[in-house]
Structure 1
C-alpha cells in the first residue's frame, strides 16, 4: 500500500513541478513560437504517458499485492493487448514527430528577402560577417584563414571587399527583418544558440550549415555555444543586439569592411618587402 501511494505522489508531484516550475523558457524574441508549441505538445504527450504508466504501476502494486494462498497466473502472450499498445505507441510517436517535421521544413525554408549573415565559431570566440552595400557576401576558403584574414575571405572576390567583419565582438541586427544565418567552424563542433530566438544549429568544420529567424523585439540577447567544444566552452559567449533599423545602420556605418581591414596590412607587407629587397 505504501509503495502504491509513493508512486502516485511521484506522478502528481512531477506534473505539479512542471506546471509551477520557476525554471521556464526565456521570453520569445523571434518568429519561432512554433518551436515552443511543438515542445509544449511533446511535454503533454510524454507527461500523459508517464502519468499513465506510473498510475498503472501503482494500481498493479495495490491490486496484485502479496496475499497468503494467492498464486500468480502465467500469461506469456496477449495479442489483443500487444495490438493496442503498438497502435497507441505509434499514434503517440507520430503526434510528437509530425509537428517537428512541419516546423523543421519552415526552419530551413528561407524567405527570399532574408539577409545573409555569417557566423564563425572557433575555440573560444565568435566572429561575424555581414554583407556590405552590394548586399552580397563574398566567397571564403578555409585554406585562406590566417592572422591577417581570420575568416578566410577570398581577396580576389569583389563581392567580399565591402563585407563587414566583426571579430570577437557583438552582432547587431535590425528588428523585424528575416536573417539567414550561415554557420562555419574552423576547429571543432560548435553550436550557435540564442535562447530567446529558439533557433540553433551545429557548426561543422568543413561544412556550412544554416537556419533563419526574424527578430521580433529589440534588446540585447546572449549568444551561447550549445555544443561542448573544449575546456573554455562555458566562456564562449557573445551578444546579439537587436535594434531599430536606423540605429542598426548607424552602427553598421562605423564598422570596418574587409578591404579596410586588409588594406593597411597589405600596404605594410609591401613596404616590408621593398625594404627587404
Structure 2
C-alpha cells in the first residue's frame, strides 16, 4: 500500500508541478500563439498517459502483491489487451501529431505581403540584411563572402546595392508587419532563436531555410543560438528590437547600404596602400 501511494503521489505531483511551475514560457511577441497551444495539447496528452501508466503500476503493486499461497498466472498472450493498447497508442500519437502538422503548414505558408529579411549565422556572431528602398534584396553567392562583403552579395546585381547590411549588430523590425526570415550559415549548424517569437529554424551551410512571423508587440528581445556550434556558442547573442513603424524607418535611414559599405572599404583599402608606400 505504501509503495502504491508513493507512486500515485509522484504521478500527481509531477503533473501539478508542470501546471503550476513558475518556469514557464516568456510572454509571446508574435502571431505564433498556435505554437503555445500545440505544446499545451502535447503536455495534456503526455501528462494523461504518464499518470495512467503510473496509476496502473500502483494498482498492480497493490492488487498483485505477494501473499502466502498466491501463485502467479502465466498469460503470454492477450489479444484483446493488445488491440486496445494498439488503438489507444495510435489515437494518442495521432492527437499529438495532428496539431503540429497544422501549425507546420501555417509556419511555412508565407503571406504575400511579407517582407524578406536575411539572417546570417557564423562562429560566433549574427549579421542581418534588409531590403533597401527598392523593396527587393539582391542575390548572393557564398564565394563572394569576405570581410568586405560579409553577406556575399553579387556586386553586379542592381537590387543589392541599396540592401542594408548589419554586421554583428542588432536587428530592428516594425511592429505589426509580416516578415519572411531567410536563414543562412557561413560555417557550421546554427539556429536562430528568439524565445518570445516562438519561431526557430536550423541554419544549414549551403542551404537557405526560412520561417515567417508578425511581431505583435514592441520591445527588445534576445537572439540566441539554439544549436551547439562551438566553444563560444553561449556567447553568440544579439538583439531584435521591435518598434513602431516611424521609429523603425528613422533607424533604417541611418543604416549603411551595401553600396556605401563597398565605397568605404575601397577608400580604406586605398588609404592603407598609400600609407604603406
SS at match of 1:121: strand
How far has the Cα of 1:269 moved from its partner?
4.4
Q: Matches of 2:132 and 2:273 in 1, distance apart?
A: 31
Where does structure 1 lack aligned partners over 5 or more consecutive residues?
none
- The verdict on how the C-alpha distance between 1:254 and 1:49 changes in structure 2, with shifts beyond 3 A counting, is same
How far has the Cα of 1:140 moved from its partner?
0.7
Root mean square deviation, CA, Å: 1.5
How far has the Cα of 1:271 moved from its partner?
7.1
1:137 matched to 2:160:
no
Q: Matches of 1:242 and 1:262 in 2, distance apart?
A: 28
How far has the Cα of 1:270 moved from its partner?
5.8
Equivalent residue, structure 2, for 1:153: 153
- The verdict on how the C-alpha distance between 1:272 and 1:238 changes in structure 2, with shifts beyond 3 A counting, is closer
Q: Matches of 1:223 and 1:57 in 2, distance apart?
A: 44
How is 1:4-83 mapped onto 2 (pairs within 5 angstroms)?
A: 4-83=4-83
Equivalent residue, structure 1, for 2:185: 185
Question: Per-residue CA shift, 1:82-131, capped at 9, x if unaligned?
Answer: 00100010001000001100000000000000000100000110000000
Equivalent residue, structure 1, for 2:221: 221
How far has the Cα of 1:266 moved from its partner?
2.5
SS at match of 1:128: strand
SS at match of 2:139: coil
1:101 matched to 2:101:
yes
How is 1:266-277 mapped onto 2 (pairs within 5 angstroms)?
A: 266-269=266-269
Q: Matches of 2:192 and 2:264 in 1, distance apart?
A: 31
SS at match of 2:166: strand
Q: Matches of 1:276 and 1:186 in 2, distance apart?
A: 32
Equivalent residue, structure 1, for 2:242: 242
How far has the Cα of 1:25 moved from its partner?
0.2
SS at match of 1:240: strand
Q: Matches of 1:159 and 1:87 in 2, distance apart?
A: 56
SS at match of 1:126: strand
How far has the Cα of 1:234 moved from its partner?
0.8
Where does structure 2 lack aligned partners over 5 or more consecutive residues?
none
Give the TM-score taking structure 1 as reference length.
0.97
Equivalent residue, structure 2, for 1:230: 230
Q: Matches of 2:275 and 2:139 in 1, distance apart?
A: 33
Give the TM-score taking structure 2 as reference length.
0.97
Equivalent residue, structure 1, for 2:263: 263
Q: Matches of 2:22 and 2:34 in 1, distance apart?
A: 22
Equivalent residue, structure 2, for 1:204: 204
SS at match of 1:207: coil
Instruction: Tell me the matched-pair count.
Output: 277
How is 1:85-124 mapped onto 2 (pairs within 5 angstroms)?
A: 85-124=85-124
Q: Matches of 1:146 and 1:24 in 2, distance apart?
A: 41
Q: Matches of 1:167 and 1:85 in 2, distance apart?
A: 55
- The verdict on how the C-alpha distance between 1:125 and 1:272 changes in structure 2, with shifts beyond 3 A counting, is closer
Q: Matches of 1:25 and 1:147 in 2, distance apart?
A: 38
